[in-house]
């Protein structure tokens, strides 16, 4: 499994399927356990992720790490990635053609890792993998292809809005209580 994930990461780092490869510093394939029981999937790398080639290392990543620690978890327990593997300029929302270009990589990661659950962070991840409106799917357990999906707010939104942060933490509590 580890070799397959590493091989896929190399393909992602060389990808030129959409316009974003021209402006990226680093593709961000993801990191973590290649046999993780839980995957965490966000929207797209931010500026710091583009600099380092690692997912969730900026302010949103710090909040995610703190939230995971609150529930006795560490980021090393998971495989963490995003729907997009390259930083969209000005941290804008991913365009549909970019999602379409990157989604096969994320689906392949899911196929290789075979998680029992996937925590989706934000609207883009929920829409891309479940094809549902975020408001309808947020905070619910949705089973597809023997994987339990759970969508919540992206930590970047939780940083901007105190009410969203409260809901984000409640959602994570619900997720970790129900996913053992």
pLDDT at 90: 83
Crossing angle for the helix pair 96-113 and 2-13, nearest 10 degrees? 160
Mean pLDDT of the chain: 95
Q: What is the pLDDT of residues 64-119, one digit of tens each?
A: 999 999 999 999 999 999 999 999 988 889 999 999 999 999 999 999 999 999 99
Q: For the residues 126-144, what does the mean pLDDT come to?
A: 95
% of the chain at pLDDT higher than 90: 96
Instruction: Give the span between the Cα atoms of 50 and 132, in whole angstroms.
Output: 28
Q: What is the pLDDT of residue 1?
A: 66
Looking at residue 105, what is its pLDDT?
98
Set out the domains of the chain in order of their start, with CATH numbers. Answer: 2-178 (3.40.470.10)
């Amino acid at each position: 499994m580890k070799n397959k994930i590493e091989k896929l990461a190399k393909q992602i780092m060389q990808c030129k399927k959409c316009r974003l490869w021209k402006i990226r510093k680093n593709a961000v394939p993801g990191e973590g356990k290649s046999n993780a029981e839980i995957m965490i999937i966000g929207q797209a790398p931010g500026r710091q992720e583009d600099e380092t080639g690692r997912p969730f290392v900026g302010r949103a990543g710090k909040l995610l790490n703190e939230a995971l620690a609150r529930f006795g978890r560490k980021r090393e327990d998971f495989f963490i990635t995003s729907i997009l593997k390259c930083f969209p300029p000005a941290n804008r929302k991913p365009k549909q053609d970019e999602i379409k270009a990157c989604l096969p990589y994320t689906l392949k990661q899911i196929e290789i890792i075979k998680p029992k659950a996937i925590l989706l962070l934000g609207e883009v991840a929920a829409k891309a993998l479940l094809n549902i409106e975020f408001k309808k799917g947020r905070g619910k357990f949705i089973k597809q292809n023997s994987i339990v999906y759970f969508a919540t707010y992206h930590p970047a939104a939780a940083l901007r809005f105190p009410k969203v942060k409260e809901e984000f933490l409640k959602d994570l509590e619900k997720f970790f209580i129900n996913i053992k």
